[in-house]
Structure 1
Amino acid sequence: MIGRRTALGLAALLALVVGLTGCSALSPNRLPSVKSSVPLDYQVTLQFASVLNLPDGADVMMNGLQVGRVQSTETTDAGVDVVVGLTDDRPVPADSSAIIRQNTPLGDTYLALQPPTGGSGGELLRDGSVIPRERTTSPPPLEDTIAVLAYFINGGSIQKIQDTMATLNRTMPPIKDVRAIASTVSKDLDDLSRNTGQLDRTLNSLNAVSGSFTDSQQQIEHVFSEQGEHYWKTVATSLVSHISTLLPSVGSVFTGGLFLVPLLNSTADAAEAGRGMWDQAPATGTAMARFLEDTLIPFAQKPSVDIASVQAPSVQATGKKELLADAKMLLRMLGAIK
């Protein structure tokens, strides 16, 4: 019994010595990887402009499945060449594109392969294949993303939205009054929708009147033309001349009826001036009917107002403090600060 215990102690001591002597060769890169479940059957080179902080051993994903791992990166004159190991169990189309992604802003970086949306040509990646830089995409640096986010927050956009909503709340009447107005408008629109026949008849009548002007355009133009004007002047002159001749007892002032000639000339000039209005009457009637059918009735059925722009006052000192507090909370959510 004693010899057996002694042998077990010597074995444990020998194992401890071997373990201590081997610690000098132990490193994180030599530890077994938890991602080694995917076999690496062949290698493919991907050419990137930059890879940021893409580590060796990062996952290579396609359609949500792991198809390989990053084996090494090498800097070149034109960018960075990334060598990845892929598995034969999940074939990758030769015309696929590659992009470096992160699940979260501060999460692990991985490499995603994206097959073409319209279908591939049938060829697959094989050992030694190269995906050129034209089909690879490098993500923007995290610092640029944080800078854009900080500019958005510090620029006052959130505060402007809050001020806009506060202004709208102050401008709008109380909810009780809004509901009363909406109820009244709803009843008016409902009544209008039930009497659209009257509007249709009115529009049809206006359309018929404008059509009658159009049908009589030649006669109207003839009446107010130069020949018509000359005719009316001649008739007026002859009529007044004969009537004044039949009434000599009125006196020498009315002899020949010459005093009526300027009045009739003015009347003819006024009629000639109104000729243009009669010429435009059909077009005016058509435009009015189109306005009622295309603008007034649709707006009465579905009234709405488009807000083109809203301006808010600049951010005050208290608003800046709130923006800084919101920025700190956002950075804590991202994990950038504690």
Structure 2
Amino acid sequence: MKTKCSWTLIALAAMMLVLSSCSLSPNRLPSVKAGVSSDYKVTLKFASVLNLPTGADVMMNGLQVGRVESLNESKDGVDVVVGLTASRPVPADVTAIIRQNTPLGDTYLGFTLPEQPTNQGNLHDGSVIPMSRTTSPPTLEDTISVLAYFVNGGSIQKVQDTMNTLNKTLPDVKNVRRIATTVATDLNDLGENVDEIDRLLNGLNGVAKSFPESKVEIEHVFGDEGIDFFHTVGYSLVRHIATLLPSVGSVFTGGLWVTPLLNSVATAAENAAPIWPAGDKMLASGNDFISNTLKPFLKNPRVAITSVKAMGSDRQMLADSASVLRVLGVVR
């Protein structure tokens, strides 16, 4: 009897274990992290929560402030009930978002503090965070689709082409270093001479300030009086120069006679134009005549008669003249 009772109890325990395990799911498993106390409950309204499990952590500023207790479907989306600890107050104007540290990491609920707090106090038991201050995460399909478009849409290739273009456009590393060295030297020189720059700027500032102080003089220079002065000086200067220079003055005062003179000079130059090409030959011939003919004759002036011819009765006279000249020794 004892053996039968023992087997009966064992069978009943096994049946209860099987029946209880049918209602067990991963979502009902508690978080393996160190938990916090659940002092009050707050409801957050989400459009969707994807795979957010019950027992997920609620984080704020890197610290756990509660856990997700239940997920309830509503007409607008999903109501997430969280239990928060009273030891870490949560401002009433926080925003909530469902996050994952990694694509395969645990999903958790994160509170984000506003940039400009509204001083609405802290969350309390029964508080509701509306959907306007909650952010649902994108679906995994959308994330994969975005990544696929980024990879297959040519974005990576465009980045690579851009980098190749930059590498081709920029000079060699040696030249870049040389340019950087030159720029660094110039900047150091500029930094060492800041006092000179200040002195230059102060001088320019002083010049700029002098203009308002000399406003009256400047107005006289560029006003009607200044225009009249420069007009008088220019007129007097041109008139006296025209009087001092006769040629210029005659052109201004009575230079009509210059026109016929210039025409005559132009005509003479045109007539003498054919002479100029033969000028060198004429000069050479003149030099040869003076050097080889005129100068020797002037040094020893004489005439050598080589022959005499006569016609008719003049032949006898010519013969007699030759005899006389031969006697005198003039003719050989």
TM-score (norm 2): 0.53
Aligned amino acid, residue 140 of structure 2: L
Q: Name which of structure 1's ranges 198-207 and 81-90 shifts more when overlaid on structure 2.
A: 198-207
Q: Deviations over 1:57-79 (max 9, x none)?
A: 43333442151323131221x33
Q: Deviations over 1:249-271 (max 9, x none)?
A: x89x949x6359xxxxxxxxxxx
CA distance in 1, matches of 2:230, 2:143: 80
**Structure 2 segments unaligned to the other structure (5+ residues):** 256-332
Task: Note closer, same or farther for the CA distance 1:259–1:154 as it changes in structure 2 (3 Å cut).
Answer: farther
Q: CA deviation at 1:131?
A: 2.2
Q: CA deviation at 1:17?
A: 0.8
Q: Deviations over 1:202-254 (max 9, x none)?
A: 8888888899999563454259855235534763687589x59xx9xx89x94
The percentage of counterpart residues that share the same residue type is 47
Q: Is 1:34 matched with 2:42? A: no
Q: Is the 8 A contact 1:56 1:73 kept in 2?
A: no
CA distance in 2, matches of 1:169, 1:159: 15
Task: Note closer, same or farther for the CA distance 1:87–1:178 as it changes in structure 2 (3 Å cut).
Answer: closer
Q: Residue in 2 aligned with 1:130?
A: 128
Aligned amino acid, residue 71 of structure 1: S
Q: Residue in 1 aligned with 2:300?
A: none
Q: Residue in 1 aligned with 2:72?
A: 73
Q: CA deviation at 1:150?
A: 2.5
Q: CA deviation at 1:112?
A: 2.7
Task: Note closer, same or farther for the CA distance 1:50–1:194 as it changes in structure 2 (3 Å cut).
Answer: closer
**Count of matched residue positions in the alignment of Structure 1 and Structure 2:** 245
Q: Deviations over 1:255-314 (max 9, x none)?
A: 9x6359xxxxxxxxxxxxxxxxxxxxxxxxxxxxxxxxxxxxxxxxxxxxxxxxxxxxxx
Q: CA deviation at 1:25?
A: 3.8
What stretches of structure 1 move > 6 A for 4+ residues in a row?
195-214
Task: Note closer, same or farther for the CA distance 1:89–1:191 as it changes in structure 2 (3 Å cut).
Answer: closer
CA distance in 2, matches of 1:46, 1:113: 11
Alignment equivalent of 2:19, drawn from 19, 24, 43: 24
CA distance in 2, matches of 1:90, 1:106: 29
> Which structure's relative contact order is higher, taking Cα pairs within 8 Å and 6+ residues apart?
1
Q: Is the 8 A contact 1:59 1:70 kept in 2?
A: no
Based on CA coordinates, which of the two structures has the bigger radius of gyration?
Answer: 2
Q: Residue in 1 aligned with 2:286?
A: none
Aligned amino acid, residue 74 of structure 2: T
CA distance in 1, matches of 2:91, 2:184: 60
Q: Residue in 1 aligned with 2:7?
A: 13
CA distance in 1, matches of 2:234, 2:253: 13
Q: Is the 8 A contact 1:95 1:115 kept in 2?
A: yes
In the TM superposition, 1:96-135 aligns within 5 A as 96-114=94-112, 118=117, 120-126=119-125, 128-135=126-133
CA distance in 1, matches of 2:143, 2:170: 38
Task: Note closer, same or farther for the CA distance 1:111–1:210 as it changes in structure 2 (3 Å cut).
Answer: closer
Q: Is the 8 A contact 1:41 1:88 kept in 2?
A: yes
Q: Is 1:140 matched with 2:138? A: yes
Aligned amino acid, residue 253 of structure 2: L
Q: Residue in 1 aligned with 2:156?
A: 158
Q: CA deviation at 1:38?
A: 4.8
Task: Note closer, same or farther for the CA distance 1:35–1:238 as it changes in structure 2 (3 Å cut).
Answer: closer
CA distance in 2, matches of 1:203, 1:61: 57
Q: Match of 1:26, SS?
A: helix
Q: Deviations over 1:180-208 (max 9, x none)?
A: 45445555665666677787888888888
Q: Is the 8 A contact 1:59 1:68 kept in 2?
A: yes
Task: Note closer, same or farther for the CA distance 1:259–1:217 as it changes in structure 2 (3 Å cut).
Answer: farther
Q: Match of 1:34, SS?
A: coil
TM-score (norm 1): 0.53
Q: Residue in 2 aligned with 1:268?
A: none
Q: Is the 8 A contact 1:51 1:138 kept in 2?
A: yes
Q: Match of 1:258, SS?
A: helix
Q: Is the 8 A contact 1:68 1:87 kept in 2?
A: no
Q: Deviations over 1:76-121 (max 9, x none)?
A: 1x33322334455655444443322222223332223445563854
Q: Residue in 1 aligned with 2:329?
A: none
